[in-house]
Amino acid sequence: MEIGEKDLKKVFIIFILAIIAILSFMIVRPLFFAVLGGLILAYILNPVYLKITRLVKNKTSAAFIILFLVLIVLVIPVWFITPIAIQQVFEIFRASQTLDVQSFVSSIFPTASDQFSAQLTATINSIIGKISSSILNSLVDVFLEIPTIAISLFVMAFVFFYTLRDSEKLFKFSSGISPLNKEKEKILVNQFKGITDSILYGLFVVGIIQGLLAGLGFLIFGIENALVLTFLASIASVIPFLGPYIIWIPVAVFLFSKGNMFVAFAFLIYNMTVVSLLDNVLRTYLVSRKVDISPAIILIGMFGGVSVFGLGGLLIGPLILAYFITFLRSYKDKNLYSLFSDESVKPTA
């Protein structure tokens, strides 16, 4: 079977496009997460941008206002809080070095043999040492990467601004090059939007707010190293099956052990009402009204995403798995082919 001239041209064009796509990916790869961060931030704040455009009537001015507000709300506080957080990390490191682990082990296992206590004490000391050295190494790496971080933040702000301003053009362009059936594309886009909203708002945004509320409790009740504990509570709030309680419960136990019963009870009630209520009401509402996603899928996506993409995988992993399951459902329902065809395929008997 002879290959025609048109077929050769098609193969050549596809080959050129593939080469350009690979080269483009290699160019963007060092700043991939900065670009992704700008796109995600623009997606989250797009409803606010649309409201501001109704008042300002100018897309460029509206996007600039949002960018300015983001800089005020996020960048400026981080600039002032970072030195305090670093100081608290070093304080926790010094406290871990002077921690009397042996007495702690003896109090928990009073009838244990000396050999068991010694082995458990050595194990706990080893774990604490590894965690402490890992945290310090991470801080050193952050200082060494300050120029790279600055460039990434600039690119993120740049992408965020132009994605907001040109969001309609980007949507039309993406729809124009999409190979999907236009009717099916609308359904699929709505499904993907529900998945994205569920994970972004119901998991990450609510989780961060919940962690910040827990941090507010640390500050109100005078808990030491509140900033570091707030960061840990925010991370725990984002991860399914966990929550800020794994941070504030040990703090509450510590307060009770110190004999300050009034503060301990007040701290406990604050977290059981304000912090937990946000998780039980707002997160459930946001997730259930968008789409039904198993927490197990999100958890696997997070841990798998981190191993592949690094810290950004916390978000990318769950999204990829959720989208993949959507395609699997289309395949199961015999609708996968119809996504790429103008004709619907009827399942065979």
What's the pLDDT tens digit per position in 115-173?
777 787 788 777 777 777 777 777 777 777 778 878 888 888 888 898 888 887 877 77
* pLDDT, average across residues 84-102: 71
Read off the tokens for 262: 């009034």
Task: Tell me if 166 sits within 8 A of 158, measured CB to CB.
Answer: no
pLDDT tens string 44-61: 888 888 888 888 888 888
User: Whole-model pTM?
Assistant: 0.64
Question: Per-residue pLDDT tens for 250-308?
Answer: 888 878 877 778 888 888 888 888 887 766 666 666 555 555 666 677 778 777 887 77
pLDDT digits (tens, 9 = 90+) for 240-249: 777 788 888 8
Decide if 225 contacts 91 (C-beta within 8 A). Answer: yes
Please say whether the beta carbons of 236 and 243 come within 8 A.
yes
Residue 292 dihedral angles phi and psi, to the nearest 5°: -90, 105
Do the Cβ atoms of 317 and 309 come closer than 8 Å?
yes
Q: Across the chain, what does the average pLDDT equal?
A: 76
* Number of residues written out for the chain: 349
Give the tens place of pLDDT for each residue, 158-198. Answer: 888 988 888 878 777 776 666 666 666 666 666 677 777 77
What CA–CA distance (Å, rounded) separates 279 from 296?
17
φ/ψ (deg, to 5) at 194: -65, -40
The span from the CA of 304 to the CA of 317, in Å, is 6
Q: Which of 242, 240, 238, 245 lies closest to 214 in space, CA to CA?
A: 245
300: closest CA among 283, 282, 321? Answer: 321
d(CA 91, CA 83): 12
CB 228 within 8 A of CB 88: yes
Is 81 in contact with 227 (CB distance < 8 Å)? yes
> What is the arithmetic mean of pLDDT over 84-99?
72
What gap in Å lies between CA 182 and CA 340, rounded to an integer?
9
Chain center to CA of 120: 35
Structure tokens given for 138: 């991470």
Tokens of 29: 């790869």
Is the confidence at residue 343, as pLDDT, over 70? Answer: no
Of residues 324, 322, 320, 349, the one with CA closest to residue 334: 349
CB 118 within 8 A of CB 106: no
**How many CB atoms are located within 10 Å of the residue 128 CB?**
15
Asked if residue 345 has pLDDT above 50, the reply is: no
Taking only the tens place, the pLDDT of each residue in 200-253 is: 777 777 888 888 888 888 888 888 888 888 888 888 888 777 778 888 888 888
